Amino acid sequence: MLKKKDKYNVAIMGATGAVGAEFLSILEERNFPIKELKLLASEKSKGKSLKFKNESYPVEILGHNSFKGVDIVLSSAGASRSLEFLPSAVKAGAVCVDNSSAFRMDKSVPLVVPEVNPHAIEKHKGIIANPNCSTIQAVVALWPLHQAAKIKRIVFSTYQSVSGAGQKKILEMEKQVDEINKHMDNWIAGHHNVDKFLIKEFPHQIAFNLIPQIDVFLDNAYTKEEMKMVHETRKIMEDDSIKITATCIRVPVFFAHSESINIETEKKLKPEEARKILSKAPGVIVIDDPANQKYPMPLDGEGKNEVFVGRIREDESIQNGLNLWVVSDNLRKGAALNAIQIAELLIKHA
């Protein structure tokens, strides 16, 4: 367990990545009580330095001996590195909040969204898992409705930005858009494909396109991302009886994921009741005024900490059904902010 202190030694694994940058930004914004800060990354980042509170910090090469004296590790370095190095961090006495998929479905590791299941951190044994970005925003919106009317079934359709796939994917879409802009005459004439050499990170062109595949396909014909949403939602909401299906789509948006969510509840929940419940829910902002074309969009969510909900309407095909549209910044609430909120919970309960 974390020992009570005025300030804590914090290490960031994957400090030079997109989520690492968000870690630094949010730690500064929230004035997190840091005594010493250690930035860790792979050999590729050797010699780099990063700014935090107007000071420059060198990036150190991640190793098994990187965690001496560290109290809290915020990790976003990928599942393989988490599996390899976080046990060493725990052995050194640190409590780790891991943003990878490495430990999420481990029964001995809590999977936490502070607005939903903050009590789960009490069961940690040195590692707490941060859920998948698309799962986090969904459960923040669904949990208050589940408490009010008990959700029986969920149908997720996600529209996920390229930033959720990492920095290289962002750059690939930028290059493809630039190429299309240079040859706009061809584009207008009906030649819509970019050169194959510009398609490396994604399986297909992402610029001005949609890809109905996120992560690898499994034996059941769902993708790994889709099954993450199924299993993680049940674990976080502590209800294995909820029937869940998902379709996850990569869209040509730089930041913020959007989700169309259909739910069936045991108790009838009218749209106006759902709006009232969600308007009081922690971490949620309701934007739902279709008469004036007001609803959440990725541009609304970008750079914000909250989960935005709109298009709340009755599903007329079933007796107790609702449709919702949910938007949130995947790098902030969907990754870095949620992890830092977990760290804040650890400090609160130290």
Mark whether 257 is an active-site residue: yes
Which residues touch 215 (CB under 8 Å, ≥6 apart)?
A: 223, 224, 225, 228
Cβ contact 40:49 at 8 Å: no
Q: How far is 27 from 151, CA to CA, in rounded Å?
A: 35
The catalytic residue among 124, 146, 248, 257 is: 257
**SS3 of 148, please?**
helix
End-to-end CA distance of the chain: 7
Q: How far is 134 from 305, CA to CA, in rounded Å?
A: 14
Give start and end residues of each alpha helix (H) in the chain: 18-29, 79-91, 133-149, 167-182, 184-188, 224-237, 271-279, 298-301, 337-348
Residue with tokens 């970019």: 194
The radius of gyration of the chain's CA atoms, rounded to the nearest angstrom, is 21
Mark whether 146 is an active-site residue: no
Cβ contact 70:89 at 8 Å: yes
Cβ contact 137:257 at 8 Å: yes
The catalytic residue among 133, 146, 192, 204 is: 133
Q: Select from 111, 116, 135, 102 the least CA-distant residue to 259.
A: 135
Q: Select from 171, 131, 173 the least CA-distant residue to 17.
A: 171
Which residues are designated catalytic?
133, 257
